[in-house]
Structure 1
């Protein structure tokens, strides 16, 4: 028996070869054997309706027995078709079956059972034989030794609260894995103390790998995730002794900072993660920040903090003028005063006296940069680190992790980094996974088309859906055709708001993803206030700009929502009517916020693909679409012209980026106006 639990699969297979169905459609003749006759009979029914697995199994068993006994002549006559249908009809059949969780069995599986018994449906044995994506693999974990004394010159002291990995002998574990997963597991197990970059497409089973590693070696690995929710999702699935080896990135940063303080770094100050509630004017007073030119101290503080954030997200060892090109006017070529102001703010962020009252916020980006500059490494007692969503790590964090002697596995997907490019180690073992265990091969074309539009290009491996999973892809002509359950994803905040308002009015149980909800609460007040100003007879410029923007994006009906009475009170009532995720019938989410989500059914609004107009939009519309396309496990609904529109959106986004680059060059005097 496998030592790790198999991934649940809801697909059901029919004992019918693809070429047999093609011959039936082309010539109108039924299959020659009772087994395939039963498969065709079931296919005719499953095209129209979804059947529970137990009911479908009984139907196949009874039909096969009927045909084998020669009592089904009337039914066999019904299996005869009119013929004359070609590839489009075959594709339509396969698409309809996949929408209901049904696939034709692999030819080799059908032929094997036909050779053994063409007159009887083999039931569970047949279904098991069709599951080919996951197979049992034996993974050998070499012997490990307890680390030697790590107190070498320049190395940080291990955290005394963390015990070093125990010495263990070689072990073997069996589990259900894809061939790629097994190869990656063997590489990680055989290369302790190494840096490994694992690039894995969405749904390829990174979490499955983490669980397998930590179950096999509870004291050898520590899992690092960006959020508390991801960490807590792992905790009940691991052995008790592994439960303490789960950390958020904030917890890792705090742990390292405390270690640095014990070794004398930081001048006695422990700069842990903190959020400041002190108003900007009070911060400037406490730190003695002065105004610059026409900018008051509060404005200088905001500019300095933005420059610091961009510096922390870069590989630069020092603050430079380029880190301020977004916040300073293009005509201002001399950023030296702002660089000096930011350097002063940075010193204050790590000053014990200033931070005694929690004056300035410190986030993981700030802490990562500080740790890099201080030469701090993670505690060796954590063992090998398994860092999830590592494509979001800054260059500073990648450098900090590179110092970790027991090794690091960077688990990420560069195409899920919505802004910028993923940072990489200059020398690391690179592994890839492209075989999805979440979605079927029916989505391959869509996903690979989106990957090809990404400006970083697809990896050396194409995305491959599982051949034994059914993910029905349906092109809708009208939005009213999409299911009334599952997830609905959007590229436009206003379309999401309009849908939420309509669905709640219809009595639907609606949940809005927290990140999308926060953005909605932040942005919705602007058009509400703009329409209110029009009603008061004041300037209509803001409202006209909003209407023009909606018209440009093909959303001319959106302004009517606000002019029709959707005001602050209506927004408050809508928010109060939303329900938690576990109670919802429909979940609404912006495409760029769909990371780490999975639903049986996903419907993508047209605005997921018609985007790229917004000059403030920093994220890539192609990567947001890729995120959305890879969320649905059983059904995926999208407009008929989705990929054509996505290509246009990618072009618009590229043109916007180029315009920004040219503006920067002009501001720096490199290009004549």
Structure 2
């Protein structure tokens, strides 16, 4: 069974480099034709022709037939002094057609060759004509999944050389703990399923953070029984607390509102905030506590506030948070109102001393950078072998949870999804990070993700995923796409409601005299939990260029009616652009990805920690693309600029 990144159909390789084609788009493009060989000239004519072929007739095989005819004609016309492929290429040369043809190349199974491959001319027969078998030979030579393995269950698996080495090492040491640090696109899920083939299903516990990730893993398994294997983090903790037959996790329970709870628990004002707003701050404290190793609530779980926190405020907040925790202990059903129900369940299971049932011998976890510390506590209390696969660069914020046990650590850096273009951008990000792994990222030979630098005012193509830097940046792009009549959506109903909630709060804080009543029921968005008015918002967000843009729109009259209009944007699902925070896109992949200018901001970062977080967010964004990447400017130049200008050297409170 091949990885999800493997394509069984052979692409057609054009006998020219992408750099040569891009060079022809410059002012001296016509003159550069003289330096090209006849196969290269034929490839240029084929690319130009793609721009005028009806979409229904476009195919890689059709392009190859035209290429073969042109090269064959050039061989036959080589004895003529009056006509040649060069003269025809000069007569038909059209930079506009070449530009649009290059865009078509990226959507078809057409690939460029490297310079040394063009010069080797292995794509020609001894007669000088086109060799139709070249594409098959080239694919076999460069196929990353070159290693065949037959598992103990008599199933065939095709692995890359790095994956094969890892699986064989694992097979020889089945009772040894293992952690795999694998960069984006190395096929971690495919690798994990290959590892599971060497274990007994009934004795193997598979864990994933989300239902979607669990279903992705199950889909790669073969047996009916195996496709029912595994639990989400939440479901596993719930089963530990409730027994083998827990109540459904989706059961609806009537619960008091946050405002009513604040009154019941005597949670009064905090730094100008009242009621629900204070409860939201307390929930931030409890969320940090639920992520931590600690058994008791303390000042180390207080979040970083955008305004300084006095010792009196800190003690009051800890007292309020402690009351809320006691309420959650007595009324666990209210956990569904917290926004981190899964994390809360895991923390409760850890505090209760739960362990992995003894019937399991191995625990496997994909995307292990998402493991909360309490879950690792539960697992490491037992005697099971723990195998984790993750990518520390896909954790943009927070500290990566380190395993307490002695474990074999393996790095897998060969990405079968990302090519050399992405490799050139990712390695400088890795080398610049102050703390994480420095093993170099390696892109696959034929995974050629195209890179395009877009101009100011650029409207993304249909189906493009726009990855943003902040809530302000998401709001900015929602407004801009709406003005450009470009349909967009978010990554689900919950994300759409959250953006509307954020925009409602923004408008209400900017115009408190008009919209103060908006907070009666729901309170402000959690992002504003420690900001009482617009002045505090401006002080906290003044270095976010997207915030300054949104503030200018508010000054022009942007209001709640505009928010409602934005929320009703429609269009065919396949034609909409998708808006998403870059840091939330880990573990996903998309055909076309755009990084916003705010994500690659030129404004000084607050400190080295903030810069590290942005490096990870940019890494996540760049490595999501499988076909095309749209950038406002070169990432390497962006890094050099920030190395020169340093940071503001300020720290949060």
The 3 A distance-change label for structure 1 pair 636 and 283 is: same
Which residue does the alignment assign to 1:428?
A: 407
Assess if the C-alpha contact under 8 Å between 1:215 and 1:238 holds in 2: no
Aligned counterpart in structure 2 of residue 212 of structure 1, from 194, 214, 238: 194
The 3 A distance-change label for structure 1 pair 547 and 334 is: closer
CA–CA distance in 2 between the matches of 1:348 and 1:544? 31
Aligned counterpart in structure 2 of residue 136 of structure 1, from 136, 146, 152: 146
Which residue does the alignment assign to 1:668?
A: none
Assess if the C-alpha contact under 8 Å between 1:527 and 1:543 holds in 2: no
The 3 A distance-change label for structure 1 pair 568 and 128 is: farther
Aligned counterpart in structure 1 of residue 564 of structure 2, from 572, 577, 587: 572
Tell me by how many angstroms 1:256 deviates: 2.0
Q: 2:112 aligned with 1:103, yes or no? A: yes
Assess if the C-alpha contact under 8 Å between 1:198 and 1:430 holds in 2: yes
CA–CA distance in 1 between the matches of 2:621 and 2:606? 22
Mind listing any 5+ residue stretches in structure 2 that lack a counterpart? Answer: 24-28, 52-57, 91-98, 516-532
CA–CA distance in 2 between the matches of 1:53 and 1:505? 37
For residues 391-423 of structure 1, what are the alpha-carbon distances to aligned partners after superposition, in whole Å with 9 as ceiling and x for unaligned?
Answer: 122222222222454422222111111211211
The alignment partner of 1:523 has SS state of: helix
Tell me by how many angstroms 1:629 deviates: 1.0
Assess if the C-alpha contact under 8 Å between 1:418 and 1:620 holds in 2: yes
Which residue does the alignment assign to 1:62?
A: 69
Which residue does the alignment assign to 1:394?
A: 372
Aligned counterpart in structure 2 of residue 447 of structure 1, from 426, 451, 473: 426
The alignment partner of 1:468 has SS state of: coil
CA–CA distance in 2 between the matches of 1:64 and 1:500? 49
CA–CA distance in 2 between the matches of 1:190 and 1:601? 41
The 3 A distance-change label for structure 1 pair 572 and 369 is: same
Aligned counterpart in structure 1 of residue 213 of structure 2, from 196, 212, 230: 230
Tell me by how many angstroms 1:134 deviates: 1.9
CA–CA distance in 2 between the matches of 1:504 and 1:592? 23
Paired residues in the alignment total: 603
Tell me by how many angstroms 1:199 deviates: 1.2
Tell me by how many angstroms 1:53 deviates: 0.9
CA–CA distance in 1 between the matches of 2:510 and 2:296? 46
CA–CA distance in 1 between the matches of 2:172 and 2:248? 37
CA–CA distance in 1 between the matches of 2:438 and 2:290? 30
Which residue does the alignment assign to 2:6?
A: 7
For residues 441-469 of structure 1, what are the alpha-carbon distances to aligned partners after superposition, in whole Å with 9 as ceiling and x for unaligned?
Answer: 11222112222333324x24211221112
Assess if the C-alpha contact under 8 Å between 1:47 and 1:96 holds in 2: no
For residues 85-144 of structure 1, what are the alpha-carbon distances to aligned partners after superposition, in whole Å with 9 as ceiling and x for unaligned?
Answer: xxxxxxx9xx98985753115846984846963534232443442351423323364xxx
CA–CA distance in 2 between the matches of 1:364 and 1:501? 33
Tell me by how many angstroms 1:647 deviates: 6.1
The 3 A distance-change label for structure 1 pair 375 and 570 is: same
Which residue does the alignment assign to 2:184?
A: 202
Which residue does the alignment assign to 2:163?
A: 181
The alignment partner of 1:117 has SS state of: coil
The 3 A distance-change label for structure 1 pair 187 and 479 is: farther
CA–CA distance in 1 between the matches of 2:474 and 2:389? 31
- When the two chains are superposed, the root-mean-square deviation of aligned CA atoms in Å is 4.8
Assess if the C-alpha contact under 8 Å between 2:77 and 2:84 holds in 1: no
Which residue does the alignment assign to 1:609?
A: 600
Q: 2:257 aligned with 1:256, yes or no? A: no
TM-score by length of 1: 0.74
Assess if the C-alpha contact under 8 Å between 2:192 and 2:389 holds in 1: no
For residues 18-75 of structure 1, what are the alpha-carbon distances to aligned partners after superposition, in whole Å with 9 as ceiling and x for unaligned?
Answer: 99999x99894554xxxxx334421454378576311222123222322333468533
Q: 2:34 aligned with 1:41, yes or no? A: no
Aligned counterpart in structure 2 of residue 597 of structure 1, from 585, 588, 593: 588
CA–CA distance in 1 between the matches of 2:632 and 2:333? 55
Q: 2:250 aligned with 1:243, yes or no? A: no
For residues 464-514 of structure 1, what are the alpha-carbon distances to aligned partners after superposition, in whole Å with 9 as ceiling and x for unaligned?
Answer: 221112211122343427545522222254454344344445543322233
Aligned counterpart in structure 1 of residue 302 of structure 2, from 321, 324, 331: 324
CA–CA distance in 2 between the matches of 1:249 and 1:192? 24
The 3 A distance-change label for structure 1 pair 474 and 401 is: same
Q: 2:448 aligned with 1:465, yes or no? A: no
Which residue does the alignment assign to 2:577?
A: 586
Tell me by how many angstroms 1:588 deviates: 2.4
The alignment partner of 2:631 has SS state of: strand
CA–CA distance in 2 between the matches of 1:140 and 1:217? 14
Which residue does the alignment assign to 1:562?
A: 554
Tell me by how many angstroms 1:303 deviates: 5.9
Which residue does the alignment assign to 2:522?
A: none
The 3 A distance-change label for structure 1 pair 43 and 200 is: farther
CA–CA distance in 2 between the matches of 1:298 and 1:545? 19
Alignment of 1:111-122 (within 5 A): 111=120, 113=122, 117=126, 119-122=128-131
The 3 A distance-change label for structure 1 pair 189 and 274 is: farther
CA–CA distance in 2 between the matches of 1:636 and 1:356? 44
The 3 A distance-change label for structure 1 pair 107 and 588 is: same
116-125 vs 291-300, which moves further: 291-300
CA–CA distance in 1 between the matches of 2:41 and 2:366? 45
The 3 A distance-change label for structure 1 pair 247 and 330 is: same
For residues 242-277 of structure 1, what are the alpha-carbon distances to aligned partners after superposition, in whole Å with 9 as ceiling and x for unaligned?
Answer: 121032111111122234999xxxxxx999999883
The alignment partner of 1:524 has SS state of: helix
CA–CA distance in 2 between the matches of 1:312 and 1:129? 52
Tell me by how many angstroms 1:592 deviates: 2.4
Which residue does the alignment assign to 1:52?
A: 59
Assess if the C-alpha contact under 8 Å between 1:442 and 1:473 holds in 2: yes
CA–CA distance in 1 between the matches of 2:218 and 2:310? 53
